[in-house]
Amino acid sequence: MTRSNQGHVALQGRSLPVKRLICAGAVLPLLLAGCSEPVTTATSPSTPQVSLSAEPTATPDAPADFDNVVPFVRAVFLGQYDKEGQYVADNSDAARYVAHQRAYYEVVSNNGDSSTTDESDIDTDGDAAKNEVTIDDRSTDPVTHVVWQDFQFEGGKVASWTVKGIRSLDKRLWHAKASDESKGVKASLVSAYEGSSGRLTVVVDLTSSDVDARIVGATYTPDGGYRHEDQSSLSNDVDKSGKTLTYFTFNKSSLGGKLKLNVDRIDSGDNSSSYSLTNLTIKVA
């Protein structure tokens, strides 16, 4: 197996490799699961449509629909982002899941990750009668064993599913747009997903119109819950008139809270130095 031994973050029963690149004393690991192939960004022709205003719809299991399930699951665990989108229904929970995966892995690939998963390391056993797929991922140590089940379909394509022992996919994916802007720096929510381990990963688009800026701290507070410090992140500097795609992860956190970003202005004469500029807060729900 070819796999990096960097840190991992759990996503839907898988673990993905990642490295940490954060400024001002932060530390850096990764979100979703398994290993990743070179990333296909969200501009791929096979990217399913995602509407944050549309309610997902699904139909009961039909025998022919299950033909899309095993190829989809294998594509997910192998990190084949150019393939997985073709198996899911537009504007479904599955489409939202794929969109988040792609956004997350775009951050990872932009920062130099090139780890891969060998196809022989992933065993998938589909059972149409039970409407479930059993996955054994030998690229992890110990081996990851997970069951995806109760697949729902729309137009013959995968619309949703459940992971055995975990709450529904719909409740673990973001549903609304959000952004905040101050002192020429803007943070926009791209996607968010709560993995099966309870780790929340939030992908954020950062832009700056006037200054070279840096995120020096990120905290997340679930509604009615306690404040969490970020566990990992990537690429937190943004150049003047530029943009950066980054992510933040929070252990044992759920959707429905606020992400607060502490923003510094980078010293034009010394890139290693910065001073406080502003704070940005976006709702993650």
Q: What is the pLDDT of residues 46-81, one digit of tens each?
A: 556 776 644 444 444 444 699 999 999 999 999 998
Q: Tell me: the pLDDT tens digits for 226-283?
A: 999 988 887 789 999 999 999 999 999 999 999 999 999 999 888 889 999 999 999 9
CATH of 179-284, one of 2.60.40.10, 3.30.70.920, 3.20.190.10, 3.40.50.300: 2.60.40.10
Give the model confidence (pLDDT) of 190-207 as tens digits: 999 999 889 999 999 999
Instruction: Provide the pLDDT for residue 147.
Output: 96
- Asked if pLDDT for residue 14 goes beyond 60, the answer is no
The pLDDT of residue 39 = 33
Q: Which residues contact 92 (CB under 8 A, 6 or more apart)?
A: 48, 56, 57, 58, 154, 157, 158, 159, 160
**164, 151 Cβ separation under 8 angstroms:** no
Question: For 19-33, 132-146, 215-229, which range has the lowest pLDDT when averaged over its residues?
Answer: 19-33
Sequence ranges of the domains in the chain? 7-170, 179-284
Q: For the segment 95-144, what is each residue's pLDDT rounded down to a tens digit?
A: 999 999 999 999 999 988 767 789 999 999 999 999 999 999 999 899 99
Per-residue H/E/C for 56-88: CCCECCCHHHHHHHHHHHHHHHHCCHHHHHHHE
Alpha carbons 51 and 57: distance in angstroms, whole number: 12
pLDDT at 235: 72
